[in-house]
Chain A
């Protein structure tokens, strides 16, 4: 589903710094990979490169059959809206939309009919356990609840790839565990490929594979966690 081949990223500047080089990664549908690494190792950058929001300086990234480095800005955006789901550390739930609308947002982008979008969003909300609060404004939700909404939003349009950047970074440990279970469960259920960046080993351990990002590449450390 996602395939990285010899991906290199050099940070511009004087002197330029090689952030990572020659990365290779393959994530299958229904598989969830966690990427860990020290701060500044380029975890988030890697995620952004996969999302096409940051350019790479070498190698190829394929999402499905599409090599994204050839896509222009708008094409990449269209690819994201149909194939990608995102979960952010800071949730990014729009305060002026209710939960249902927030979840339906990706469907709006895809031009789904209003009724269809609402139905699917409602189902999705139900799947994350917030079915009863569909029309609540986000202000009334706790952080964990907000991240559930974000997970619903990330999956509502059945993306092929879900990218999560520190999804539990703003949550207390109890909530974090709950949310993580939900996220991974949903990714697996929807047969999407998941890539999660985190600095929490315990969070990473829930993934199918754990890879550590270093300058020389990704190293599978699943056994060690």
Chain B
């Protein structure tokens, strides 16, 4: 149930590290300020310059309707489409990939007839985890919404920042298509769902913290079959695999006492899906947690905070930043115990030079585990993504 908040925090995480530190040159700093503000949701926005109606609150009892809710919800403060997954090429090499489109309503210039008015911003972020190179390749694009160029359309999934796009969701059966071209990588992928969306929380209302105002609307698309091409160095190669899509929109996110979170989205080998997260406070204790499990037949089970537990097993220290991340976990969801193990240790995303964010986001394998932390590990039961934020510094909200 609480996982939804994680997505919201994802947006915030980048802002978190940068603002206090102030990195590098003035240009970067300003850029970061800008990004920080764009992505930061929560306090400090009460500015005289705000224009247009206020952000609508996220309230329970509003059923999600598809395909409309596949599209953008421009009235809300933030929104994202978040795809993570595993790819395998003809040679059998497996890699992780991630692609996110953020939409932010700024409440700036809503009274401005200019098409350039920065009413809505769209930001995209993509990364590939390649064990052969031992690091993440990542890139980003951002822009103010401008018809035909930078968009987050309503009615179906259609987000674009220049030549990067994610489109699809014309119906609950329809697939998605995306294309990313960055300097040192690129991919062009088709995503095909085998089931209707998994509605998280209460009919899509997903609480993020003890205060019910910290919530989002949230659905997931587990078990998307992926087919397409991936370019790392040289020519694009054919790849296939499975992916996970989260779509979430909200107006209020993190509570002040949150420091960071740990989130997983796993496609299970049996065709099911597992999403779980926990929100940590400043002492590293769980502030909130939630999970949903779904089965191939479309049945969904929502887990309350009490049923979700994250326990770190092994730590890895980044040689770049000196930050220590728990890269292996024992995760308990209701009666099942799992063990998480990364595709590679170094999946830290250090983008201080551009956006300034430092976090860990990477491909992981999920194993069945017995009772107790030291229980022996069973076979692999799924693959997906782990995201960890708030290990570098306190979130500054």
Are A and B in direct contact (Cβ within 8 Å)? no
Interface, chain B (partner A; CB < 8 A): none
